[in-house]
């Protein structure tokens, strides 16, 4: 296993995802002789995990079962230990596409934070690209290095512990794309420009507040960036539910009920409304929005150096 | 680090994208070929040899000339009003008449100059607020300054272009939705992917870009052959097509039931008739002739960029009739070539079947006009456990059904039905706000992860899963809300 290559079987040293069901999961470092506690009981790595196929159902000591999944940047994002606020896959998707990242791309990133975006970037630029990530917090930088090592991607990433606003990315004229997720991105636009290739490239800055965006846009313009564009992406998740609505009693006689407008002759296949006149209800499948959803993560400002 | 080399240059035969403000158009770069874009006509001859990203001005005779960076001559102290209480719309504020402006244009006066004259001859300009002046200039610049930027195609540009110009051809798949698909599907170098799309080959192209020529792709196609009009706009190098395979959807059932065999395939001469029959009977209106089908399906293998590109981008540039005629002539001459291609096509079919039979694909991407349920139920058979899959549909309802059927089938977890909303912003000092209009719909996604299918116990465990997914207490709450 590595975060940039699928493997079929679980091996000692792998990072695997234990899936307990309904969006409940956690990562586990597979090690001979180790056990992991779950609410369904104990998983013994040597017997229950190592040598098994990824995607297998593993029965725990109390008889309950879990699935063991191959790690991906997306699963990692959902399960990683937070050291900072992180970027989620919805924003990451748009960042990756709008920065035009692909195998071979050279990317600069700051800050590294908890490495949520870093893993996604590395996945996309592998096997020939590289990520230069800058984190001014020494402990976080160290922790990120350690994770990249554990995940088998250390050859694709360089972590530098410095202040990007003061010292830049530590590289120049090399990057195809730059990503900024720092409190004052406008102070790093000059460094971003010099990190990008002479022939040009793309930049993205992520900021939660519109005031940050305004200052960043001004700085981008000042440094000659073009195609400056700010957008926001919102994820709406739907629960699939079978809903039944009661038919109101308007005092109609039994014979009239057959002409209520509901097609009771319709075979009750999924998706189409199903009428149960005896109970006086109509059933149908619906995609119900979650009661609460993320309304704002941050603004994404993109631009081109040409 | 490595020394910066010059950027990629525009070459004859490339597929390039023209850009004016937010409008894109993909065109093949050819000499002496008239291009019409945003009500302007010009030739690309002079652009050849320049670096991608160069901005050009259209000069008389349809020539392109790299735009000189001119310092805005706004040294004079700006004069502006504070509000519009005294500005009356009498329709007479502009002293230049339509004829005057036309005369300026005919004289070949640069757009920049015309804008300056319009400003000078506007009696209300000085009374407008600074912001209104800004807006006025921007509007006029857009109309009179004919600048075109030539950019290198990418998923970002092509998906934005298709969504704006021809959303019907890509089932209204908005670019941010496509972005989600690539991420949710963990598309990357080295994967073995199954792609089933009827989005003009845009989704295929996006997957190919992310795989960078590493790994393999099996494209499942309806009708007589895969449509790859958008794919060829990307201008991928030949090597990207070495491991691109295609397999007809109509043979999926026989492959799964084990009745598919290479012996049932007709030998070369009959091959022709069979494919023709298939394409005529297909639902895809685009697949009308064998010739078209043949061309589209072989683009991959031969990839004579210069020749196939224009053919493929026809739907984007309808003006190229002349070329098609030449192409058809060529085709008639090359009967032997065609037979060789057919033999190759058959060989590729056998290869694709073998790849599918391994049932170890690293993911499945579906984005089509067809009902997703039967596609998913069959194609997931070819995917290894612990791999992501993503289905796009323009409508939510078919995905509701697909969700239910997948739960019944089992072998999948972490099912998620989602949609993204995209909001663009105007960011200007003291004038920042969301843009007036946003896209009403960019489609829906159903994603999940495959797991080992527990055939013996699947029924009971699935019932459990169903219950888990649909707690009755919550169902009541929702019901209450509706009553």
Mean pLDDT to the nearest integer, B316-320:
50
- The whole model's pTM is what? 0.84
Mean pLDDT to the nearest integer, B400-406:
98
**Same domain? A135 vs A198:** yes
End-to-end, the C-alpha distance of chain A in Å comes to: 39
Domain final residue pick, A21, A38, A71 = A71
**Beta-carbon separation of B183 and A96 below 8 A:** yes
Residues of chain A found within 8 Å of residue B414, distances taken between Cβ atoms: 19, 23
pLDDT of B478: 36
**Same domain? A161 vs A39:** no
pLDDT, tens digit, 9 for 90 and up, residues B232-290: 999 999 999 999 999 999 999 999 999 887 655 544 443 343 333 333 333 333 333 33
pLDDT band at A262 (very low <50, low <70, confident <90, very high): low
CATH number of the domain bearing residue A36:
3.10.330.20
- Cis bond leading into B424, ω under 30°? no
Residue A88 lies in a domain: yes
Average predicted confidence (pLDDT) for chain B: 80
**Beta-carbon separation of B432 and A123 below 8 A:** no
Cα–Cα distance for residue pair A63/B314, rounded to 1 Å = 61
Check whether A127 has a pLDDT greater than 90. Answer: yes
Cα–Cα distances (Å) from B7 to A27, B52, B385, B410, in that order, read 43, 7, 42, 50
**Same domain? A161 vs A50:** no
Mean pLDDT to the nearest integer, A222-234:
96
Residue A152 lies in a domain: yes
**Same domain? A205 vs A102:** yes
CA atoms within 13 A on the CB side of A158: 11
**Beta-carbon separation of A231 and B422 below 8 A:** yes
Mean pLDDT to the nearest integer, B429-457:
87
Choose between B6 and B200: higher pLDDT.
B200
pLDDT, tens digit, 9 for 90 and up, residues A179-219: 999 999 999 999 999 999 999 999 999 999 999 999 999 99
Residue of B176, B404, B423 lying closest to A285 (CB–CB): B404
CATH number of the domain bearing residue A138:
3.40.50.150
**Same domain? A45 vs A156:** no
What three-state secondary structure class fits A85?
Answer: coil
Cα–Cα distance for residue pair B47/B67, rounded to 1 Å = 11
Check whether A306 has a pLDDT greater than 80. Answer: yes
**Beta-carbon separation of A287 and B396 below 8 A:** yes
Check whether B467 has a pLDDT greater than 70. Answer: no
**Same domain? A111 vs A199:** yes
- For the CA atoms of A17, A18, A20, A22, the dihedral, rounded to the nearest 10 degrees, stands at 0
Place of tokens 């309808």: B318
**Same domain? A44 vs A182:** no
pLDDT, tens digit, 9 for 90 and up, residues B14-66: 999 999 988 999 999 999 999 999 888 899 999 999 999 999 988 877 888 88
Mean pLDDT to the nearest integer, A162-169:
98
Q: Are B73 and B103 in contact (CB under 8 A)?
A: no
Retrieve residue B473's tokens. 């207490």
To 5 degrees, how large is the angle CA A175–CA A178–CA A181?
Answer: 155
**Same domain? A105 vs A163:** yes
Check whether B350 has a pLDDT greater than 60. Answer: yes
pLDDT of B109: 77
Q: Which region, left, alpha or beta, applies to residue A152 given φ > 0 means left and ψ of -120 to 50 means alpha?
A: left
Nearest CA of chain A to the CA of B452: how many Å?
Answer: 5
Q: Which CATH fold would you assign to the domain B1-70+77-152?
A: Vcp-like ATPase; Chain A, domain 2 (3.10.330)
Q: Does B432 touch chain A (CB under 8 A)?
A: yes
Cα–Cα distance for residue pair B38/A222, rounded to 1 Å = 29
Residue spans of alpha helices (H) in chain A: 73-79, 89-98, 116-125, 138-150, 164-167, 189-195, 210-222, 254-257
pLDDT of B293: 38
**Same domain? A30 vs A98:** no
End-to-end, the C-alpha distance of chain B in Å comes to: 67
Nearest CA of chain A to the CA of B403: how many Å?
Answer: 8
pLDDT of A70: 98
pLDDT of B465: 47
**Same domain? A179 vs A40:** no
Cα–Cα distance for residue pair B372/A168, rounded to 1 Å = 48
Domain B155-264+334-454 has CATH 3.40.1190.20: no
Look up the domain containing A36 and give its range.
9-71
Residue A165 lies in a domain: yes
Check whether A32 has a pLDDT greater than 90. Answer: yes
Residue of A89, A200, A299 lying closest to B53 (CB–CB): A200
Nearest CA in chain A to B477: A243
Domain final residue pick, A42, A71, A100 = A71
pLDDT, tens digit, 9 for 90 and up, residues B176-186: 999 999 999 99
Check whether B303 has a pLDDT greater than 60. Answer: no
DSSP for A194-224, please give it: HHB-TT-EEEEEEESSHHHHHHHHHHHHHTT
CA atoms within 13 A on the CB side of B215: 26
Place of tokens 């995607």: A55
Domain final residue pick, A71, A86, A112 = A71
**Same domain? A197 vs A153:** yes
Number of domains in chain A: 2
Residue A184 lies in a domain: yes
Residue A299 lies in a domain: yes
Residues 6+ apart with CB under 8 A from A304: A200, A201, A202, A203, A225, A226, A227, B53
CB atoms within 10 A of CB B409: 14
Question: Is A263 annotated to bind ligand?
Answer: no
Cα–Cα distance for residue pair A65/A48, rounded to 1 Å = 11
3-state SS track over B373-413? HHHHHHHHHHECCCCEEEEEECCCHHHHHHHHHHHHHCCEE
Choose between B345 and A270: higher pLDDT.
B345
Residues of chain A found within 8 Å of residue B53, distances taken between Cβ atoms: 199-200, 304, 306
Cα–Cα distances (Å) from B465 to A18, A303, B60, B90, B403, in that order, read 17, 45, 69, 70, 12
**Same domain? A80 vs A127:** yes
Residues of chain A found within 8 Å of residue B401, distances taken between Cβ atoms: 270-271, 285
Check whether B409 has a pLDDT greater than 80. Answer: yes
Cα–Cα distance for residue pair A51/A54, rounded to 1 Å = 9
Cα–Cα distance for residue pair B347/B349, rounded to 1 Å = 5
Cα–Cα distance for residue pair B378/B411, rounded to 1 Å = 13
Residue of B1, B210, B387 lying closest to A102 (CB–CB): B210
Choose between B297 and B426: higher pLDDT.
B426
- Residue ranges per domain, chain B? 1-70+77-152, 155-264+334-454
Residue of B1, B186, B385 lying closest to A54 (CB–CB): B385
* Interface predicted TM-score (ipTM): 0.94
With 0-12 CB in 10 A as exposed, 13-18 as middle and 19+ as buried, what is B381?
middle
Residues 6+ apart with CB under 8 A from B87: B81, B124, B127, B128
Task: Return the sign of the alpha-carbon dihedral for residues B85, B131, B22, B203.
Answer: negative
pLDDT of B278: 36
Place of tokens 């022709």: B272
Rg (CA), chain B: 27
Compute the count of residue pairs across chains A and B with CB atoms less than 8 Å apart.
219
Mean pLDDT to the nearest integer, B403-408:
97
Place of tokens 């029965």: A59
DSSP for B258-300, please give it: T---GGGSPPHHHHHHHHHHHHHHSS-TT---HHHHHHHHHHH
Instruction: Calculate what percentage of chain B has a pLDDT beyond 90.
Output: 51
pLDDT, tens digit, 9 for 90 and up, residues B364-380: 999 999 999 999 999 99
pLDDT of B6: 61
Instruction: List the single range of A39-53, B159-173, B232-246, B460-474 with lowest mean pLDDT.
Output: B460-474
In degrees rounded to 5, what are phi and psi of residue B244? -100, 120
């Amino acid at each position: 296993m590595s975060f940039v290559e699928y493997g079929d079987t679980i091996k000692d040293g792998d990072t695997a995802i234990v899936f307990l069901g309904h969006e409940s999961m956690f990562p586990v470092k597979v090690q001979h002789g180790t056990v992991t506690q779950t609410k369904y009981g104990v998983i013994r790595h040597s017997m229950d995990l190592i040598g098994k196929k990824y995607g297998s159902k593993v029965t725990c000591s109390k008889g309950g079962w879990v699935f063991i999944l191959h790690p991906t940047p997306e699963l990692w994002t959902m399960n990683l230990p937070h050291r900072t606020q992180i970027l989620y896959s919805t924003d990451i998707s748009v960042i990756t596409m709008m920065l035009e990242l692909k195998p071979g791309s050279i990317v600069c990133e700051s800050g590294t934070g908890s490495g949520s975006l870093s893993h996604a970037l590395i996945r996309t630029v592998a096997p020939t690209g590289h990520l230069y990530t800058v984190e001014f917090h020494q402990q976080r930088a160290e922790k990120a290095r350690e994770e990249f090592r554990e995940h088998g991607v250390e050859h694709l990433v360089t972590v530098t512990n410095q202040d990007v606003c003061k010292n830049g990315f530590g590289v120049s004229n090399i990057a195809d794309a730059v990503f900024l997720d720092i409190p004052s991105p406008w102070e790093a636009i000059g460094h971003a420009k010099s990190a990008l290739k002479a022939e040009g490239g793309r930049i993205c800055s992520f900021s939660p507040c519109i005031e940050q965006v305004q200052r960043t846009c001004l700085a981008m313009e000042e440094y000659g960036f073009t195609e400056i564009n700010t957008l926001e992406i919102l994820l709406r998740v739907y629960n699939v539910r079978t809903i039944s609505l009661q038919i109101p009693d308007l005092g109609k006689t039994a014979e009239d009920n057959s002409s209520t407008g509901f097609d009771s002759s319709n075979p009750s296949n999924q998706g189409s409304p199903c009428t149960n006149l005896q109970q006086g209800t109509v059933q149908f499948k619906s995609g119900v929005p979650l009661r609460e959803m993320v309304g704002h993560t941050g603004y994404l400002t993109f631009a081109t150096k040409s | 680090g490595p020394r910066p080399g010059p950027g990629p240059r525009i070459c004859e035969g490339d597929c390039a994208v023209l850009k004016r403000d937010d409008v894109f158009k993909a065109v093949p770069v050819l000499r002496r070929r008239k291009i019409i874009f945003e009500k302007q006509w010009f030739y690309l001859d002079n652009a050849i040899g320049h670096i991608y990203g160069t901005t050009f001005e259209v000069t008389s005779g349809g020539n392109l000339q790299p735009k000189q960076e001119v310092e805005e001559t706004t040294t004079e102290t700006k004069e502006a009003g504070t509000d519009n209480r005294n500005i009356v719309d009498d329709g007479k504020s502009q002293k230049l008449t339509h004829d005057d402006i036309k005369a300026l244009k005919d004289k070949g006066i640069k757009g920049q100059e015309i804008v300056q004259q319009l400003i000078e001859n506007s009696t209300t300009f000085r009374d407008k607020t600074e912001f209104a002046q800004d807006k006025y200039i921007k509007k006029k610049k857009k109309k009179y300054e004919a600048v075109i930027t030539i950019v290198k195609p990418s998923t970002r540009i092509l998906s934005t272009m298709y969504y704006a110009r021809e959303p019907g051809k890509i089932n209204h798949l908005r670019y941010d939705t496509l972005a989600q698909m690539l991420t949710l599907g963990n598309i990357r170098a080295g994967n073995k992917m199954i792609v089933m799309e009827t989005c003009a080959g845009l989704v295929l192209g996006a997957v190919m870009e992310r795989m960078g020529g590493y790994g393999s792709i099996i494209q499942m196609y309806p009708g007589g052959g895969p449509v790859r009009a958008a794919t060829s706009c990307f201008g991928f190098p030949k090597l990207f097509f070495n491991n691109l395979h295609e397999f007809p959807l109509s043979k999926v059932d026989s492959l799964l039931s084990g009745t598919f065999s290479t012996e049932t395939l007709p030998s070369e001469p009959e091959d022709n008739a069979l494919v023709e029959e298939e394409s005529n009977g297909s639902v895809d209106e685009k697949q009308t002739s064998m010739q078209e089908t043949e061309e589209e399906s072989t683009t991959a293998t031969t990839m004579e960029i210069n020749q196939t590109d224009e053919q493929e981008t026809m739907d984007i540039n309808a003006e190229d009739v002349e070329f098609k005629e030449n192409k058809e002539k060529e085709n008639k001459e090359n009967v032997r070539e065609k037979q060789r291609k057919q033999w190759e096509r058959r060989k590729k079919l056998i290869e694709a079947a073998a790849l599918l039979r391994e049932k170890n694909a690293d993911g499945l991407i579906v984005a089509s006009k067809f009902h997703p349920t039967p596609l998913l139920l069959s194609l997931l058979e070819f995917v290894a456990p612990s791999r992501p899959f993503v289905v796009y549909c323009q409508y939510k309802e078919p995905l509701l059904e697909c969700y239910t059927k997948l739960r019944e089938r089992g072998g999948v977890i972490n099912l998620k039905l989602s949609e993204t909303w995209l909001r663009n912003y105007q960011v200007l000092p003291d004038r920042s706000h969301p843009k007036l209009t946003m896209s009403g719909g960019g489609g829906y996604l159903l994603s999940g992860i495959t797991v080992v299918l527990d055939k013996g116990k699947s029924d009971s465990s699935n019932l459990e899963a169903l219950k888990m997914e649909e707690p009755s207490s919550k169902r009541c709450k929702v019901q209450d809300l509706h009553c």
